[in-house]
A and B are shown apart, each in its own frame.
Chain A
Amino acid sequence: MTTISNEREFRAALDKLDATQQRLLAARFVTSVLPLCTDERISHAVAVAADSEASAATLAEALRTAKAATIDCHARCGAEGDWEAQAGYFVARAAIAALTPLGQLPGGSAWQAAMSCRMAQTSKSIVSGEETAGLESEQQYRMLSTYMNS
């Protein structure tokens, strides 16, 4: 029975996962913050990432879609910041991480997706004033523990 309880264990465990495992786990991370993003393209991209049978072509197409969605929702320099929209931007970035082939992102797909999901929660907490980022990392530890024990 594996239990992940801190950041060091979390990252070390993620490093041991292969490309498909990283993608599937990253998709779980993103799914948990998906309500923070209103863009349907991201929901679709995450569904593709979560499909263990998805072909390389389907994954590549979903990645292209997620990238296009991300470009549409980043904060533009000098524009008034909207942290609620920014939460959606980080969810979109997490979806990109989930779909990016292993080796192309520093730290790996699952790690990058996890970070972006936490940033999404931080953005939400800036709007609500409630601390949620720490809760998200603990949730991710539980998700990884469950995944490793399944």
Chain B
Amino acid sequence: MTASLERGLNAFREQIDAPVASFFSSCVHCGMCAEACLFYTETGDPSYTPIHKLEPLRRVWQQEYTFWGRLAKAVGLSKPVTDEELAQWETLVYDSCTLCGRCSMVCPVGNDIAYMLRRMREGMAASGHAPEGLVGATRRAVTIGSPMGVKLPALQAQIGHTEKDIGMTIPVDVVGADYMLLLSSMEIMNFPEFIGAIARIFSKAGVSWTISSEAFEATNSGIQIGVSEIAAELVQRVVDAAEKLKVKNVISPECGHAYMAIRWEGPNLIGKPYNFKVVHILELLDDLRKQGRLKISGKETQRLTYHDPCQIARRGGVVDQPRHLLNMVAENFVEMPETGTMNWCCGAGGGVSSNERADGLRLSAFKRKKKQLDVVRPDALVSACSNCRIQLEDGLEENNMDMPVLSLTETIAEHLADD
């Protein structure tokens, strides 16, 4: 057995906790998870059945933690997991799974299959079977602080440009601010107007906020690749910055997995509760709306629909807030079929977008979103995740669908009432 395989199998053993063991022993092999997975429904390939993606982990559980499995292994009826099998499973675990969690929603016995896939990635990464793109992103996140290599001077340049455009100062390293805003590298690189939108909204609503120059990155590649030590280190950087600036709240921006990482996994990763609250930007905007601090002027007349980012809606619970906000700024907001907690993923989350090898599959998976859009035929598509936005633009272009993709936060900012 190679050292890397041993590391991987040890990681599998460590990941088989009580939930994973009970999920495997509860599985009734019904296959319902297949019909919930867009990689299966859009390709028809049975190997994309979510529970099948877990087969090496299931074998380790069975062979080492069940009586009959141990016996079968001892008499040679059940073969040990090999390096070749893990290499074969790499594409199933990383290319054809966005950790969207839709499979977990339909499991009749309540198995959280996405949770298990997240656990399985720990073993895959430990055994050296993680995609090159995610490995590079994770390395940059650790060494530079951003999976895309965005350094502080680049953020400062974007802030400087934004300040000139909007005629406002963007607060950086303000001690005692109520809110510390995190940004994804995708926002800094592809959608810097998000920073201006936030500044304008917060100025009008009277929100005390800041950006930290020491920890501005929201994303967490450690979660996506499956290395909890790295994930914890990235969370700790945010915690340290928030404590240093003595903020009361940390805002997760328009990035799906960043919210799941900092809001839901973060305290468990670092092993202690935060002394600040984490809110998603849409939660905060909706709170401002409820408090009457978000004054809007005019409405979008075009037909708008909303794509729920999986980690924000299904895994994060932020479902009603975007709808309240959209109804504030849209005259003609229409829902796609199967939205909210049962929305279909865009096809690019969970690290799939950083994995070039998965490009073809990612665009095949988008056909599910196309089917949803074809039902309501909107003029524009609104979302709240930069990665979703890029995938949606990519998929729309691939399918000759002419439809702008808008940020919900930026759309709100465009409708702020004058004083």
Contact = CB atoms under 8 A, between A and B. Distances in A.
Given A86-B189, A122-B157, A133-B161, A74 B148 contact: no
B354 A77 contact: yes
Nearest to A119: B192
Contact of B190 (A74, A104, A106): A74
Contacts of A71: 393-394, 397
Nearest to A64: B402
B137 interface: yes
A74 B189 CA distance: 9
Contacts of A86: 189-190
B390 A118 contact: no
Interface in B308-356: 348, 351, 353-356
A77 B414 contact: no
Contacts of A8: 167
A125 B159 CA distance: 13
A76 interface: yes
B212 interface: no
Contact of A78 (B137, B153, B165, B192): B137
Place the interface of chain A in its size category.
20 to 34
A35 interface: no
Nearest to B186: A77
B197 to A, nearest CB: 10
A8 B190 CA distance: 25
A56 B165 CA distance: 31
A6 to B, nearest CB: 9
A80 B149 contact: yes
A125 to B, nearest CB: 6
B165 A77 contact: no
B160 interface: yes
B164 A133 contact: yes
A99 to B, nearest CB: 12
B154 interface: yes
A89 B189 CA distance: 10
Contacts of A83: 154
Output the residue of B154, B161, B348 with the most chain A CB within 10 A. Answer: B161
A79 B190 contact: no
A76 B353 contact: yes
Interface string B379-419: 00000001100100110010000101000000100100000
Nearest to A129: B153
A100 to B, nearest CB: 8
A89 B190 contact: yes
4 cross-chain pairs, A with B, having the tightest CB-CB distances, nearest first: A78-B354, A78-B137, A106-B414, A81-B148
Given A71-B393, A77-B348, 7 more contacts: A68-B397, A71-B397, A74-B190, A76-B390, A78-B137, A78-B148, A78-B353
22 contacts: A71-B393, A77-B185, A77-B348, A77-B353, A77-B354, A77-B387, A77-B390, A78-B137, A78-B147, A78-B354, A79-B148, A79-B354, A80-B136, A81-B185, A86-B189, A89-B190, A107-B414, A122-B158, A122-B192, A129-B153, A133-B160, A133-B161
Interface of A: 7-8, 64, 67-68, 70-71, 74-81, 83, 86, 89, 104-107, 115, 118-119, 122, 125-126, 129, 131, 133-134, 137
